[in-house]
């Protein structure tokens, strides 16, 4: 007897804490996952009718700001996310600084690639990604003024960066430029802008969001990820205006208002190929009245 894909789908939201911190100069984002883990997040999801559990909290085995130390945690994150996706559950990774994205999306890409190989499909298991961020995160070690790895994850996923970070999950590029877009960008250096431009990655700057509205931009973003085998969203909380998200690693003026984002994000989960969420750069030490902590919970619920 054959069963349908719908019957096989396990449909549980698996939350994963990834305490990445060595990718940033301010390492206090490592407390973010702990704070969210101890919040009301699971009961909030259950109130919304979502089956959810907190799968695991991952910590670096070694603390160092070199590529090998970053790669250690990213490899753990990749393995966990790959297993969740293999089991046809959705994931929500709570960072940590944004360097954990190398792990999250390498793991997702690995699962999609294995699935395509196993089914002898005519496609290659392509990953789609909507990257919501004030920054481009597209530096390489050669161009980064700070050398901080949370400024490099998107470049790594596109195949540019330290070798140790390119080989996570499997050896090879995880993300094709035509399957990714950035939303909310307003602070960047010219070297990363030209890397994305040369690759042909679509960037929705804040100016365009103000002109056209977030709804139109999210619709365009969904067109970009529509034909992939699976897509997700990586949210750097600094994309959101510091008025609404003060507790972040690098607050940047002039961002997306939280309410707008919460209104538009639920469109993502209506797509059949939506596989998971990542929320990064929550720094509880900079938070004001738990505003940012509560927003993380709201964002996970909006995407669950
Ligand atoms: Mn970022």
Whole-number Å distance, alpha carbon 29 to ligand 1 midpoint, is 12
Whole-number Å distance, alpha carbon 188 to ligand 1 midpoint, is 11
Whole-number Å distance, alpha carbon 4 to ligand 1 midpoint, is 38
The Cα angle at residue 56 between residues 126 and 277, in degrees rounded to 5: 35
Rounded distance between C-alpha atoms, residue 280 and residue 269, angstroms: 19
Whole-number Å distance, alpha carbon 102 to ligand 1 midpoint, is 11
Whole-number Å distance, alpha carbon 117 to ligand 1 midpoint, is 31
Is 24 in contact with 97 (CB distance < 8 Å)?
A: yes
Is 277 in contact with 130 (CB distance < 8 Å)?
A: no
Query: Which residues have C-beta under 5 Å from ligand 1, the single-atom ion?
Result: 98, 133, 137, 236
Whole-number Å distance, alpha carbon 206 to ligand 1 midpoint, is 15
Whole-number Å distance, alpha carbon 134 to ligand 1 midpoint, is 7
Is 261 in contact with 214 (CB distance < 8 Å)?
A: yes
According to CATH, the topology of domain 5-302 is: 3.40.800
Please state the domain extents for the chain. Answer: 5-302
Whole-number Å distance, alpha carbon 182 to ligand 1 midpoint, is 10
The pLDDT score that the predictor gives to residue 246 is 98
Per-residue DSSP letters for 220-268? HHHHHHTTSSEEEEEEEGGGB-TTT--SBSS--SS-B-HHHHHHHTHHH
Rounded distance between C-alpha atoms, residue 211 and residue 218, angstroms: 13
Q: List the chain pLDDT tens, one digit each, 304 residues.
A: 333 344 345 689 999 999 999 989 888 989 999 999 999 999 999 999 999 999 999 999 988 889 999 999 999 999 999 999 999 999 999 999 999 999 999 999 999 999 998 887 666 789 999 999 999 999 999 999 999 999 999 999 999 999 999 999 999 999 999 999 999 999 999 999 999 999 999 999 999 999 999 999 999 999 999 999 999 999 999 999 999 999 999 999 999 999 999 999 999 999 999 999 999 999 999 999 999 999 999 999 999 9
């Amino acid at each position: 007897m054959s069963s349908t894909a719908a019957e096989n789908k396990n449909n549980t939201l698996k939350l994963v804490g990834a305490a990445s911190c060595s990718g940033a100069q301010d390492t206090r984002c490592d407390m973010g996952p702990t704070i969210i883990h101890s919040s009301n997040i699971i009961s909030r999801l259950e109130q919304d009718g979502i089956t959810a559990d907190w799968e695991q909290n991952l910590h670096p085995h070694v603390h160092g700001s070199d590529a090998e130390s970053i790669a250690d945690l990213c490899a753990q994150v990749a393995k966990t996310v790959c297993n969740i996706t293999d089991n046809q559950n959705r994931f929500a990774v709570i960072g940590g600084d944004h360097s954990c994205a190398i792990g999250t999306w390498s793991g997702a890409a690995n699962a999609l690639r294995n699935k395509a190989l196993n089914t002898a499909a005519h496609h290659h298991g392509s990953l789609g990604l909507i990257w919501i961020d004030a920054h481009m995160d597209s530096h390489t070690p050669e161009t980064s003024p700070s050398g901080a790895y949370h400024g490099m994850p998107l470049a790594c996923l596109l195949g540019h960066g330290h070798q140790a970070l390119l080989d996570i999950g499997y050896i090879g590029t995880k993300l094709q430029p035509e399957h990714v877009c950035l939303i909310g960008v307003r602070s960047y250096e010219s070297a990363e802008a030209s890397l994305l431009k040369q690759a042909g990655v679509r960037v929705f700057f804040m100016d365009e969001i103000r002109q056209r509205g977030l709804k139109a931009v999210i619709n365009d973003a969904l067109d970009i990820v529509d034909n992939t085998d699976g897509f997700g969203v990586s949210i750097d909380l600094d994309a959101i205006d510091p008025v609404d998200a003060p507790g972040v690693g690098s607050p940047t003026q002039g961002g997306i208002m939280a309410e707008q984002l919460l209104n538009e994000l639920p469109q993502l989960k209506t797509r059949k190929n939506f596989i998971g969420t990542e929320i990064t750069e929550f720094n509880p030490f900079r938070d004001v009245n738990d505003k940012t902590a509560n927003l993380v919970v709201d964002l996970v619920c909006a995407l669950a």
